[in-house]
Structures are given as structure tokens and as C-alpha cells.
Chains A and B, each alone.
Chain A
């Protein structure tokens, strides 16, 4: 039986052997691997790219103080982008399941329609949830639009839910009982996170200050976006730092939401504020890429 980290290593090895760049997680809070610039920005434009990385993903509202065996404030996704998606993408994916020890001849695999949409990112795609013996283990999406831009090279996004997959492989009922490393359980590594962040997110985060922080990051992002058009050397322009402020805004929005601090009328407005930043950044990134191509 493989440990949590062994399974991750096997996935990385498998995709590394198939031409993927292995990246490390983005170092700013995100809700999903999709938000990392390695996905959100890299899928735009005409450059082929294959990348895989583990992304710790924060779902502030899903925190359960470490008490629910199936729900986490922060879970781990193995995020893979194949741009453009190869013709045998599903065979490759099934191969990755074999590589982590799932004998497909003894299990039941189904692909059930599940389309994906992220309003704060101006993004959508079509695809499936992959069901293994009735358990959703992967989200598979062919992106169609990201940052409000129709994609030139349609990528396949394959998002493995690591805790679920490993709990399945290790045949444990609670995520906290997963063996992370020999002699070390998931709960030993992560329980304190789950408890403390639940307390902070639900009870203690200072709402007024969070609003102010949201405003500050938005202002910084907007200012940068406005400066791009007149910047003399586009290649030097800090598009990536601009995007970090989009992610900060998105995370602060999630925190405020978990605190129940966003009213009905505000909600739609805040989502739009974040989307405008994301769409603006996608636009200047694409422009910057085309400058590089022509340079």
C-alpha cells in the first residue's frame, strides 16, 4: 500500500515521463489548481505546454474544524494541463490510474457529464467527473474559454482529488487516517491546520480589515492594469505580479463569504469586481505573449 506522498510521487513520475513540466504549487492562496498562473495564464495563447503540480486548495466555507471525516478546509489537487489535449488523452489518463496501483480490470470506471464554470475567472469548459466504483476521483475538463478569451489550443485539465483517491487506495473511512508517510498519518500533518483555520475563517477574521485588504489589492491590480497600455517595454511589464493581486482578491472574497459578511446585493458586485480583474489580466498576458512571439 502506497503512502499519500508515494502516490503523489508516482503521479509526478508518470506525467514527467510524458513530457510534463513538474511545477511546485503557487505560493498564494488559491481555491483550486485552476487559479494558479500555471493554468489560468498558461492555457491562453498559442504556445503548447504540459505541466503538472500539487496545489493545496483552500475552500474556506468547507472547513469543519477537523471533525468531518470527508470535508476539508484545505485539500490537495494534482493538477495537470495538457495543451493542446492529445488525441489519446483519456488513455493517458487511465494509464495514470494504473500507475498509482488501480487495477482497472477489477474496478468500475465511468465518465459522467460535468461541465465546469468559474464566474470569477470568466472561464468555462465541458467534461466529466470520473467515477471509480461510485467515487468521484477526478474532474476532467476541456477548457473552451478562460479570462473571457476563447482558447486557441484547447487544453485538457485533469484534476485529481488526492485525499479521495488515496483514502480509496488505502481503504480508510476518514481522510485523517490516511498514511501520509511511513508512521505518519494525515491527521498528524494537517489536523491543526483544519482546526485553526476553521476557527479563524468562521469566528475571528476581522471583517472590516478583510474588506480594506480586498480594496487595497484591487486598487494595486487596477493601477497596474491601467499602466500596461503605455508601458514602453511590454516584456518587462509585471503581468505575473498583477495576477497575484487578482488571486489575493479572490481569496479575500472567499474569506468574507465564509464569515457571512457579503450580502445578496454585494455578492454579485464583488464577483464582478474580481472577474474584471481576471479578465483584464488575461488580456494583457495574451498581449504580452504575442509581443514575445513577434520579438
Chain B
């Protein structure tokens, strides 16, 4: 048994790709040993202890020629396998050879397989750097390789780089040639300015930044964890005058452009400081602080300049400029999109403020501020609208009309905001589907899934009472239903079959779907429910098999006394009792049908030879199923007996 170490030394890997690479590296097969992985900005490391030095011997059974093919064939087969003919066995009608396969040194096996494993890692974008286009591809050039099993180097080569036992430290803080063993690898790295453990770097960033008052933003913290080898936090300052700029702009500049944490005096109130994370251990002369402060000042000056210049032309005067900005080649400019969105807002019952917001919503795309800080689209429009005297309803609707940007993001906070956000996304969806830009697999360049998900979230959580059919049709409707299912299952946690059951009863408004789902999930654990669902499924199957279409109303006089008539009485009673009830109460009452329905199936034969009688019984079942399937189609419920 030996310890194993593999370090792939590269030039700086894009931070956002590292976690995905680690997941793949953890799948390295080390013959049963537990695999550990970690990474910094310029190394990917895999290690394990207890890796066997040899694989075990094994036996391989090889099927030979048929007995009828004669001695020559048998000899030939044995010879080819390097065995004596006497070693052959006769099994059934064939010769057979049990071949002993000797175990092999794991070092040899790894030397053969590791190059393919390393180059087989999947990256969102790769490059070649040696050997032309047919040369090896990786995320960035591989510059060194450490591969050890015990004290032996596992010999192989990738892209002209040979494995060895020599690693490299931090670009500035460490040595560029450090001999290591499996035992001292991490400690040697630490001496040379590299903290291998990403979780340790993460904690260091968080602890130091928080001590300096930083407002820790998790996504930025992750970026910084993988962009560094030795992170250190420092605090810098900016002139309080800049606090006159909107907090959104200041935060965007700090966070997205400069990768700084912002500092708040109290929640929501920025302080004139920032926290930067260095990839080094110290700022002895304050030069790094000074440099970062100067960059930030220049950035803030730019933002102020953009703000001032942009105010010289009101949003309302920029509507026609949108004709110069392409939305999509076949769907025309943003001016055309704006016209469509305004019309749609009107159609959706949006008031004058909502229509005004839709008209101005995209105008910030032609401002200098948004050209520079694209992520602030919408937000800048809202801030400008407010500064230019548009009323608050208009300004806030513009501000929030890109929301929700993700499933975690909130929806717009006002009804006008909801309608404008809905119309904007719907227009994109309708337009793209009309010209065949439908997302396939991982390809979704117009982020239509996100738009559709946004529509679902707005309709449900914004409690907007538009029916799905009034908003979408055809292929887009099918696409929306997928997103509705996704939303209720993944985001809201409803069970797979509950969502199927409710949607099978029709979609209507999503507010209604949510109410029916909530009722169904609440009733589901009660004792009568699942057996009733099973009976409904049976009912549905019987009707399906009979290919039944009702030809008239139920003939009550034909009902047999006993379970059939009793079921009918119970059915009438339940029907009366559910009228006007909420979904949950209705479902609870329906569940009480269970004993009568069970008894019916137990005692009454549906498929009787008498055609009239059979038709009447099927009619009874059909009415019952139709009546009680408006909330959910119970036949979609997977009952415990069926679960795989």
C-alpha cells in the first residue's frame, strides 16, 4: 500500500471552472482508495493513501473453438493464448481455457491511464498551445506535473511535460522548484506561499474580510477563493463624496469590476470603504492599498461622469434611439420590442403608469452608464426615471423589470412592476419561438428558460390571474408547462406525481394550480387518500379499456340495489358536499368515497354481458371520475404499491 499524489501545474485557471474540474478529478479510480482533491488558481491536486502497489491476480475464462473443429483448431487456440493444449477444458460443446492473469504494478497502470484521464477532463472552453490544432487541449497550458506513488515517480508525459517530484510555489512568495514527497507536499507548499486547501482559503478570506467590516457576498467569496493561492484581506477607503452616487452603482463597481467587498455602516447603508483580497501575504508599504484606491477612484469618477452626461438627455427622449439597437436580427430593434411590449402591457390590463414604464424600460440601453455597466440595465433606468421626475410607480416598474434574474431572486414588488416584467419576458419568448429559436439541450443563447422561469414565478408568486392559454400557445405552451413542472417540483418541493395529477386536470391560472397542489399535498397523507387514488386509477383504466364514450345520462332506475346504488348515493352526497368548498375540504370529502368505491369494485361486475347495463355502469364511473378530476387527476398519483 502506498500514498498517491498527482499535481497538474497550469497557468491560471478561470476561477469559475475549478469546482467542476474537482468534481471530475474526484472520480479517478485508485483501486478502492479514497480520493481527495483540491485546487488553487494554478494547480489541480489529487491524493490518496492506501493505494495498492499491485492489482490482484485474477482468472479469465476464454471460450475456444467448438469441439467438432478438431485438434488442429484446439492447438491453434492454445498457442495463440500462450498455453499448452493440455490446459484446455471441454465445457459443453466448446474448448475453454482458464487463463491466469497476473496482477500488475499500479504504477505501470497509472502511467498508462493518467495522461488520458487528465486530458479527458471536460472544460467549458479549451485551448491548444503546442503541436498545432491537433495538439493536446486543456484549459490553460500545463507547465509541470507531479505524480508519485509512494516514493516513486509515476512516469508519463503530457504535452511534452514529464512527471517528477518537483512542484512550484506561489509566483512571488515561493520557489519555482520544490522537491516534494507525498507526506510533505502540502506543508512544502505552505512554506512557499500556497494554501492548497480551498476551504482554508475560503475561511481565511471570510474571517479577515469580516474583521474589516466587509459585507460578505458568497459568489464573490468563491471567485476569490479560486483566483488566489494565498489570499489576504486589506481595507481601502474612498472619498465620502462618492456616496452621493446610487449605492447600486457603487456596489456594482466594487463587486463586479474590482472584486471588492463593500462595507456597510448598517444594513443597506454603504460606508466609504472597501475590502480587497490580495493574492499575496502582506502590503508592507501600503502600496497595494494606495493602488486599489486610485483605481476605484477613477472608476467612480467614470460613473459620475456617465451619470452627469446621461442626465443631459431624458429617458423619454431616447425612445427613438432604440431603433439603432438590435434586439434580434429577425425580431428587429429594441424600439420594435418596446412597441410590442407596450401593446402587451395594455392587453394585460396595465394602467397608464405600467404602459409608460414599458415605453421607457429599455431606454437605459442607450445610456453611457449601462454601456459601461451592463449588469445595471433596468436598475439604471429606474434610477434615472426617478431623477428625471417620472412618478414612483413608473420608476420602480422600470427598476425591477428584469426581475427575477434567477429562481432565488425576488419578483418585482409592485403590480405595475409585475406586469411590465411579465410582458417583457413574454414578448421575448413569443418572438423567439415564432422564429424557431427554441432552446435545445444546453443551448439557450437567449436565456429563454430563465425568461420562462421568471414568467412562472411572477404569475404564481405575484398572484396574477391570467390563464396560461391566454398568454401562450402551441410549442411555447408545452415549453411553459415544463417550466411550471420544474418550478413546482424543484423550487416548491411538490412531489413529481402531484404536479402531474394537478396539471392533468388542466392548467387555468397558475394561482389556481398552486391552490390545487397545496390542497392535494395536504390531503395526501390521510388514510383514505392513496387507496382512493388507486381506485380512481382502476376506474380510469376500465374506462380506457372499454374505450368508453358516454351516450347519455346515467339511468338511475337501472342501478342495482346494494354496492352500486350505495355508491351512487354516496357520490350524490359528496357532489353536494363539495359544492362551493375550498379545494382541500373538497378533496377531504371526496376521499370519504373510498369505502363505497372499494365495495363496488369488490362486489359489482362492470363488464357484464348485458350491453345496456354495462353502459350504465360505465356511465356511473365516468361521471364520478369527471366530477372529481377537476382538482387533480387522481389516476396520475403513484400509490405506495406501485412505487419502484
Which A residues lie at the B interface, using CB under 8 A? 68-71, 84-85, 87, 90-91, 94, 104-113, 115, 125-126, 128, 132-135, 142, 144, 150-154, 168, 171, 173, 260, 263-264, 267-268
B291 to A134, Cβ gap below 8 A? yes
Which B residues lie at the A interface, using CB under 8 A? 11-12, 14-16, 41, 125, 127-130, 132-133, 140-141, 143, 171-172, 176, 227-228, 258-260, 276, 278-280, 283-285, 287-288, 290-292, 294-298, 301-302, 305, 323-326, 329, 333
A135 to B128, Cβ gap below 8 A? no
A168 to B291, Cβ gap below 8 A? yes
Q: Closest residue of chain B to A133, judged by CB?
A: B291
In the complex, given contacts A107-B291, A168-B291, what are 6 additional A-B residue pairs having Cβ atoms less than 8 angstroms apart? A87-B143, A126-B127, A134-B296, A151-B133, A263-B324, A268-B326
Contacts of B290 in A (CB 8 A): 133, 171
- What is the distance, in angstroms, from B572's C-beta to the closest C-beta of chain A? 66
Q: How far is the CA of A184 from the CA of B301 in the complex (A)?
A: 26
Q: How far is the CA of A70 from the CA of B276 in the complex (A)?
A: 22
Q: How far is the CA of A110 from the CA of B171 in the complex (A)?
A: 10
Task: Assess A107 versus B298: contact at CB under 8 Å? Given A134-B258, A268-B329.
Answer: no
- What is the distance, in angstroms, from A202's C-beta to the closest C-beta of chain B? 13
- What is the distance, in angstroms, from A14's C-beta to the closest C-beta of chain B? 18
Q: Closest residue of chain B to A70, judged by CB?
A: B298
Contacts of B279 in A (CB 8 A): 108-110
Task: Assess A133 versus B295: contact at CB under 8 Å? Given A108-B278, A264-B333.
Answer: yes
Q: Closest residue of chain A to B276, judged by CB?
A: A134
B287 to A150, Cβ gap below 8 A? no
Q: How far is the CA of A94 from the CA of B170 in the complex (A)?
A: 13
Identify which of B228, B280, B301 contacts A70 (C-beta below 8 A): B301
- What is the distance, in angstroms, from B328's C-beta to the closest C-beta of chain A? 11
Q: How far is the CA of A84 from the CA of B16 in the complex (A)?
A: 28
B227 to A94, Cβ gap below 8 A? no
The 3 lowest CB-CB distance pairs between A and B, nearest first, are A133-B291, A113-B14, A111-B12
- What is the distance, in angstroms, from B137's C-beta to the closest C-beta of chain A? 10
Contacts of A84 in B (CB 8 A): 130
Task: Assess A106 versus B125: contact at CB under 8 Å? Given A134-B292, A150-B132, A154-B130.
Answer: no
Q: How far is the CA of A108 from the CA of B172 in the complex (A)?
A: 9
- What is the distance, in angstroms, from A161's C-beta to the closest C-beta of chain B? 13
Q: How far is the CA of A71 from the CA of B288 in the complex (A)?
A: 23
A134 to B324, Cβ gap below 8 A? no
- What is the distance, in angstroms, from B336's C-beta to the closest C-beta of chain A? 10
Contacts of B295 in A (CB 8 A): 133-135
Q: How far is the CA of A115 from the CA of B288 in the complex (A)?
A: 26
Task: Assess A150 versus B133: contact at CB under 8 Å? Given A106-B285, A110-B279, A126-B125.
Answer: yes
Q: Closest residue of chain B to A106, judged by CB?
A: B287
Contacts of A91 in B (CB 8 A): 176
Contacts of A105 in B (CB 8 A): 172
Q: Closest residue of chain A to B279, judged by CB?
A: A110
A106 to B292, Cβ gap below 8 A? no
Contacts of B133 in A (CB 8 A): 150-152
A144 to B127, Cβ gap below 8 A? yes
B302 to A70, Cβ gap below 8 A? yes
B227 to A112, Cβ gap below 8 A? yes
Q: Closest residue of chain B to A67, judged by CB?
A: B305
Contacts of A152 in B (CB 8 A): 132-133
- What is the distance, in angstroms, from B546's C-beta to the closest C-beta of chain A? 61
Q: How far is the CA of A189 from the CA of B105 in the complex (A)?
A: 71
Q: How far is the CA of A104 from the CA of B279 in the complex (A)?
A: 12
Q: How far is the CA of A94 from the CA of B173 in the complex (A)?
A: 13
- What is the distance, in angstroms, from B182's C-beta to the closest C-beta of chain A? 26
Task: Assess A107 versus B301: contact at CB under 8 Å? Given A126-B127, A134-B295, A264-B326.
Answer: no
B12 to A128, Cβ gap below 8 A? yes
Q: How far is the CA of A268 from the CA of B328 in the complex (A)?
A: 12
B288 to A109, Cβ gap below 8 A? no
B227 to A133, Cβ gap below 8 A? no
Q: How far is the CA of A91 from the CA of B287 in the complex (A)?
A: 22
